[in-house]
Amino acid sequence: MAASRSSPNIIITGTPGTGKSTHAQLLVQESPITLKHINVGELVKDQGLHEGFDEEWQSYTVDDDKLLDELEPLADRGGLILDWHTCDIFPERWIDLVIVLRCNHTLLWERLEKRNYPLKKIQENNEAEIMGVVSDEARESYQSQVVVELTSESMEDLQGNVSRMVEWIRNWLDNNGVAQVNQLDRT
Ligand SMILES: Nc1ncnc2c1ncn2[C@@H]1O[C@H](COP(=O)(O)OP(=O)(O)O)[C@@H](O)[C@H]1O
1 within some domain? no
- What pLDDT digit, counting tens, does each position of 24-81 carry? 999 999 999 999 999 999 999 999 999 999 988 778 999 999 999 999 999 999 999 9
Q: Can you state the angle between helices 119-131 and 133-141, rounded to 10 degrees?
A: 50
CA of 85 to the centre of ligand 1 (A): 13
Atom of ligand 1 nearest to the CA of 39: 21
Per-residue pLDDT at 96 exceeds 90: yes
Per-residue pLDDT at 183 exceeds 70: no
Residue 7: the pLDDT is 96
178 within some domain? no
What's the ipTM? Answer: 0.99
Residue 1: the pLDDT is 45
CB 38 within 8 A of CB 82: yes
Residue 3: the pLDDT is 56
User: In CATH, what number is assigned to the domain containing residue 100?
Assistant: 3.40.50.300
Give the mean pLDDT of the chain: 93
Q: Is 155 in the pocket of ligand 1 (CB under 6 A)?
A: yes
- Total count of domains within the chain: 1
143 within some domain? yes
Output the known binding site: 17, 19-22, 115
Can you give the residue range of the structural domain that contains 109? 8-169
Q: What is the per-residue DSSP string for 53-85?
A: EETTTTEEEE-HHHHHHHHHHHHHH--EEEEES
160 within some domain? yes
| pTM check: above 0.95 | no
52 within some domain? yes
- What pLDDT digit, counting tens, does each position of 143-177 carry? 999 999 999 999 999 999 999 999 999 999 999 86
CB 113 within 8 A of CB 122: yes
92 within some domain? yes
187 within some domain? no
Residue 4: the pLDDT is 77
Give, for 161, the enclosing helix (H) or strand (E): helix 155-175
Q: At residue 23, what is the residue type?
A: H
CB 24 within 8 A of CB 161: no
176 within some domain? no
Q: Which residues contact 180 (CB under 8 A, 6 or more apart)?
A: 32, 33, 170, 173
Residue 90: the pLDDT is 98
